[in-house]
Structures are given as structure tokens and as C-alpha cells.
Amino acid sequence: MPTPRAPATPLWRHPLARPVAALALLLIVAAVFVPGFLHLEIKDGHLYGSLVDILHRAAPLMLAALGMTLVIATRGIDVSVGAVVAIAGTVGCVLVGSHGLAIAFAAALGAALLCGLWNGLLVSALGLQPIIATLILMVAGRGLAQLLTDGQIITVYEPASFFWLGGGYLLGLPVSLFVVATVGGLTALLMKRTALGLFIQTVGINPVAARLAGVRTAAIVFFVYVYCSLGAGLAGLMISSNIKSADANNAGLLLELDAILAVTLGGGQLSGGKFSLAGSLIGALIIQTLTSTIYAMGVPPQVTMVVKAVVVFAVCISQSSAWSTWRKA
């Protein structure tokens, strides 16, 4: 949405200030406790280091979070993201060897599109509650993907160009980052240069008023689910390109939860309405930084979850407005 050009509020009041601060704090903690965490070097002609890893690993999550942001902005939720990741990755891997890159990508995104259309249909035409509508695909989706592979992990050996999306480098940086930047940029442009952002928020805040004002509420809702699935499809291709295989049962497992978490950490409200694409991207980075830091610090696996929980609590509470008033009092 067009933001006011002359922000009367100081910089630290900016809605993104707190997520950014949380991210910075995490990085500082990591840098202090893990020697060389911030170290970057050039290896094989590209940047190499934990920071690059974080960006690289967060890419699929960022794609999923972008879509989830819009879905949540319309008061919806999409729990089928992980399943769509599995479907798209599988379709891509099954076809890429025999039919070539272009067809495999088109088919994978086509499959994701179908998933989105299905979700959109259930939510906007049939009027099912979003969580149930998408739960159906969440349950069945992995089954469909496994059906394609007969339960096997499909390993891709050829063509090498397939590995470029999830493992290649461009200008010294992972290709996946450029993909996220492009998708994110295009989405932001779509939101700013068209009325889509306005409509999405309107539908999320007050669907009744939106309808009376002449907004095509059903079409908007339909769109966000399709968009979200497409993003998930791209993420699926990225993940399977990265590990050079499709694992229908495990690819993108619980990605939907992380995506929702990313959106909320970035300041999005699950009750719909105002959204921030940049905030969600930062939210995704917070999650990945946390995971990477935990790995790097050598936290024992059985403690990992507790650490994660505590950090999420801390980040949320520090971001709440009640906290600031509380502290002052």
C-alpha cells in the first residue's frame, strides 16, 4: 500500500523497526557466541559464509511467506503450502529428466496453479472456512505427490541446469535470492501500482463493506490463494533443485507453520487487514537466522525446541505495544 510519504512518526516507530531490531539482535548474539559467524569469503567465485547460507536457506520460506502474507491479509489462512511444495517439487523432478527444464518447470508451476485454483474455489466459491478448505489439500497433497513417485525419493542427475535455481550463483550470490527479490519486487509493484493492495486490505478488514463498495471480493480471495500456491510451487522447485531430488513425504514439511510465523513476526495480523511484504520477509529471515544460530552454536537437538520457543516468546513480547507501555509505567 502506498505509505504516507512524509512520515510524521520517528524512525523507531516505523512498523518494521521492531522486526529489524529483533533480526539485528539475533545476528549480534550469533556473532558473539559463534566465532566467525559473520565471516564472509570468496570461494569458487561466489560469496561463502553463514550469512549467505541464511539468505539462501530462507529463500523458499520467504517465497511461501509472501503468499501467506496476502492470504492472511484477507483473513484467510493456507495450511496447504507444504503439500504444494511437495507436489511442485515432485512434478518438476519427475519430468525434468525426460522432458527438459522448460516443460518440467511449466508443469510444476501448473500443478501449483491447480492447487491454488482448488483452494480458491473451496474458499471463495464454496465458502468453506479457509483452514478446512486448505486442510483438505494439506492432507491429500502429499499423497498425490507420493502417488507420482510411488513413495520413492526421485533423484535428479540430469540436466545440470536444473540445479541452478536452488544451488547456482549469480554475481557471487545464490540465484534463489534473485528469484525472491524478483518475486517480492513484482508483488510489491503489483500492490503499489495497482489497486490490488487496497482491495486485499479492504476485504480483510471488512468484507461486507468491501462488497457494498463494489469490490470483487470473491475474485480477490481467489487470487490470493492462487498466488500463495504459485509461490509455494516455486519454493518447491527451489528446494528440490537444491537437494537434487524430490522427497514427496518430507519436502516442505510444516513450512506453512513457519510461513505463518514469519508473517506474524513481521507484524502481520492474523485477523486480516494491513500487511507488510517486507515485514514478512524479515520474519522469514528471523526464523532462519534462529535455526542457523542454533546449529552453529551446537545446541543439543533435544534442547533446540525450547530455545526456539523462548526466542519466539521474547521477540513477540518485545514487539508488543503493551510491552512498551508496561515498561514505561
Q: Is 168 in the site for another protein (CB under 8 A)?
A: no
Q: Is 251 in the site for another protein (CB under 8 A)?
A: yes
Please identify, using beta-carbon distances, which residue of 67 and 89 lies nearer to another protein: 89
- Distance, in Å, from the CA atom of 48 to the CA atom of 46, rounded to the nearest integer, reads 6
Q: Which 8-state DSSP code applies to residue 3?
A: P
Q: Which three cell numbers stand for residue 128?
A: 468453506
Q: Which residue has the cell 515485514?
A: 279
Please identify, using beta-carbon distances, which residue of 102 and 172 lies nearer to another protein: 172
- Distance, in Å, from the CA atom of 12 to the CA atom of 10, rounded to the nearest integer, reads 6
Peptide bond just before 159 cis, omega within 30 deg: yes
- Distance, in Å, from the CA atom of 244 to the CA atom of 237, rounded to the nearest integer, reads 10
Stretch that binds another protein, among 25-33, 175-183, 228-236, 259-267 (CB under 8 A): 259-267
Shortest distance, CB of residue 267 to another protein, whole angstroms? Answer: 11
The residues, ordered by sequence, that sit 6+ positions from 192 with a Cβ below 8 Å of its Cβ are 1, 2
Q: Is 322 in the site for another protein (CB under 8 A)?
A: yes
Number of residues in contact with another protein under rule CB under 8 A: 111
Q: Which residue has the cell 511467506?
A: 65
The mark string for 23-62 relative to another protein (x by CB under 8 A, - otherwise) is -----------xxxx-x---xx---xxx--x---x-----
Q: Is 303 in the site for another protein (CB under 8 A)?
A: yes
Q: Is the dihedral of CA 43, 24, 197, 125 positive or negative?
A: positive
The mark string for 208-247 relative to another protein (x by CB under 8 A, - otherwise) is xxxxxxxxx----------------------x--xxxx-x
Q: Which residues between 175 and 204 bind another protein (CB under 8 A)?
A: 193-196, 198-199, 201-202
Pair 38, 301: CB distance under 8 Å? no
Query: Of residues 17, 140, 188, 278, which one binds another protein by CB under 8 A?
Result: 140
Query: Of residues 24, 28, 42, 131, which one binds another protein by CB under 8 A?
Result: 131
